[in-house]
């Protein structure tokens, strides 16, 4: 598979987002999840993305099992800063806790070093530079190779990069969600920070294969305005147009959407998640496809405000 750079970190052109193996989209089968991760490596997908918060540690343990014996094939990314417990979800970027979170992740993953360690969300009670300073100590200690941040705004990116080189910023970006192009994308490029879009298939919308409404209990799309009522109906019309164009090219709508995102620059490494080995192979085959999807589904046509959804805290599931 094509290789790309996130800062000084070399990885495959697309990665595998693992959140869905442990939360947000309903129950999953661990053995099948491990098989999907193994298939990803077989397809040349090296970037495997997890987080301590996914399933309260379940996801990291699952990934650790999946990559056992294949560590040299993996660019392993995990995240800290979203803490789940009996009292709900909170953010913790306090410097004195960073090393402990990292050590716990290393143990769950069964590895000695994390290739890309993200601050999952900026703690509003802690200046980001202080958190990054503690993360930099992990690099010096050999526990972490590269640093990243997730859902940081341009000012926070500047502050983080002033403390230590930042390899990647992770954020939601897809053909159906374009707002990061106005601020985060240009700021990251100015700072030499690679771009890692999560939900690059629009949380399943852009695959053209959404489950029938209503979404089942445990599926967080139930609360996302893009996936309900008139908004969803309008968005599905756009997906049908995308699917028709894809069929003419012998592609799927998901491949069209991934190819569009990959074409936005060689510093873009999307991390689509899937529980399906068939869908995984489809995603891998999107690398190298040429497409101009803007002409088919223009930016302003999509409906539903992801920002209000995120502001209620629901987006912290990611």
Per-residue pLDDT reduced to its tens digit, 55-64: 999 999 999 9
Q: Is the pLDDT of residue 315 over 80?
A: no
Q: Give me the mean pLDDT over the 175-185 stretch.
A: 93
Q: Is the pLDDT of residue 316 over 50?
A: no
Q: Give me the mean pLDDT over the 286-315 stretch.
A: 68
Tokens in use for 203? Answer: 């949380």
Provide the pairing of β-strand 3-6 with 9-12. antiparallel
Give the per-residue pLDDT at 292.
74
User: What would the DSSP string read from start to end of 163-219?
Assistant: TS---EEEEE-BTTB-GGGGTHHHHHHHHT-EEEEESTTGGGGGGT-PPPSSPPTTB
Q: For 69-92, give one letter per residue: b (16+ CB within 10 A) or e.
A: eeeeebbbbbbbbbbbeeeeeebb
Each residue of 227-242: pLDDT tens digit?
767 788 788 888 888 8
Each residue of 117-151: pLDDT tens digit?
999 999 999 999 999 999 999 999 999 999 999 99
Each residue of 255-276: pLDDT tens digit?
999 999 999 999 999 999 999 8
Q: Is the pLDDT of residue 26 over 80?
A: no
Q: Give me the mean pLDDT over the 157-185 stretch.
A: 96
**Range of 114-118, 204-208, 308-312 with top mean pLDDT:** 114-118
Residue among 129, 173, 124, 169 at smallest CA distance from 149: 169
Give the per-residue pLDDT at 245.
87
Give the per-residue pLDDT at 223.
66
Catalytic-labelled residue, pool 54, 101, 118, 198: 54
**202 — pLDDT class (breaks 50, 70, 90):** confident
pTM of the model: 0.89
Fold of 3-203+259-289: TIM Barrel (3.20.20)
Question: How far is the C-alpha of 239 from the C-alpha of 245, rounded, in Å?
Answer: 10
Residue among 89, 93, 64, 68 at smallest CA distance from 79: 93
**Range of 112-126, 169-183, 285-299 with top mean pLDDT:** 112-126
Domain boundaries, the chain: 3-203+259-289
Each residue of 69-115: pLDDT tens digit?
999 999 999 999 999 887 889 999 999 999 999 999 999 999 999 99
On whether the CB atoms of residues 119 and 144 are closer than 8 A, the answer is no
Mean model confidence pLDDT for the chain:
90
**165 — pLDDT class (breaks 50, 70, 90):** very high
Question: How far is the C-alpha of 39 from the C-alpha of 34, rounded, in Å?
Answer: 9
Of all residues in the chain, what percent carry a pLDDT higher than 90?
A: 68
54 is catalytic: yes
Q: Is the pLDDT of residue 49 over 90?
A: yes
Each residue of 7-17: pLDDT tens digit?
999 999 999 99
């Amino acid at each position: 598979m094509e290789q790309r750079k996130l800062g000084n970190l070399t990885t495959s052109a697309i990665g595998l987002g693992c959140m869905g193996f442990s939360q947000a989209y309903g129950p999953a089968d661990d053995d099948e999840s491990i098989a999907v991760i193994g298939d990803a490596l077989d397809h040349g997908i090296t970037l495997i993305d997890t987080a301590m918060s996914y399933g309260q540690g379940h996801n990291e343990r699952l990934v650790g099992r999946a990559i056992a014996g294949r560590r040299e094939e993996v660019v392993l990314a995990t995240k800290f800063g979203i803490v789940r417990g009996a009292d709900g979800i909170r953010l913790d970027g306090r410097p004195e806790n960073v090393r402990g979170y990292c050590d716990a992740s290393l143990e769950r993953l069964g590895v000695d070093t994390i290739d890309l360690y993200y601050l999952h969300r900026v703690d509003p009670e802690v200046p980001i530079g202080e958190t990054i300073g503690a993360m930099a100590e992990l690099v010096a200690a050999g526990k972490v190779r590269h640093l990243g941040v997730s859902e940081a705004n341009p000012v926070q990116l500047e502050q983080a990069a002033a403390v230590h080189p930042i390899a990647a910023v992770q954020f939601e970006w897809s053909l159906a969600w374009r707002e990061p192009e106005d601020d985060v994308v240009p700021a990251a490029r100015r700072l030499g920070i690679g771009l890692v879009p999560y939900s690059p298939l629009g949380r399943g919308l852009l695959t053209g294969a959404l489950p029938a409404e209503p979404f089942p209990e445990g599926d967080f799309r139930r609360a996302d305005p893009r996936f309900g009522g008139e908004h969803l109906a309008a968005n599905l019309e756009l997906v049908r147009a995308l699917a028709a164009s894809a069929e003419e090219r012998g592609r799927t709508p998901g491949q069209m959407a991934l190819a569009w995102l990959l074409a936005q620059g060689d510093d873009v490494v999307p991390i689509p998640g899937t529980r399906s080995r068939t869908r995984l192979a489809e995603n891998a085959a999107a690398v190298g496809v040429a497409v101009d999807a803007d002409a088919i589904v223009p930016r302003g046509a999509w409906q539903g405000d992801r920002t209000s959804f995120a502001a209620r805290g629901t987006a912290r599931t990611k």
